[in-house]
Amino acid sequence: MTRFTPAELEAARDRLVPDVVAGGLRVLFCGINPGLMTAATGHHFARPGNRFWPVLHLSGFTPRQLKPAEQAELLSYGLGITNVVARATARADELSAEEYREGGRLLAEKAVRLRPRWLAVVGVTAYRAAFGERGATVGPQERVFGDTRVWVLPNPSGLNAHWTAATMAEEFARLREAAEDEG
């Protein structure tokens, strides 16, 4: 993995990272916003401590653990990645409430346009902020966008220590099974 200096990472602040999307996906995963490592590399969930890629594999979504640089392969599995807020920051707490709300509005439009079976928001706090649902918990939600159902997953950041890779993989697998049952 490429090593970046603090100055190089800081230079990635506010950059946009292209979505990995197509119409009609089984699951469109949605992160909070790109971190500086993601923005510097152009690859989603690129920070070494992030557990998204290992959990995606452990849950059975992919036959092997993909590297962030292999993110385009997700499309061949009917999967994609986007974010609630597009701009890169060092930490999610740098985002404003308005950015979350506007991100939620744009995400809803994207879901209606792309029509994935499931929109999977990785991070219950981000979901609550984007859609004003303070009582939301991890799991399937009542909310739909057109034909797209919504599932909230635990945030795979290494900072979310009360979820282990194994318990996250169990929750991701529940979503995978729901997506397969509908297929």
Residues serving a catalytic function are 33, 44
Is residue 76 within 8 A of residue 20, CB to CB? The reply is no
Q: How many CA atoms lie within 13 A of 20 on its CB side?
A: 24
- 39-50 exposure pattern, b = at least 16 Cβ within 10 A, e = fewer: bbbbbbbbbeeb
In whole angstroms, what is the distance from residue 60 CA to residue 179 CA?
Answer: 12
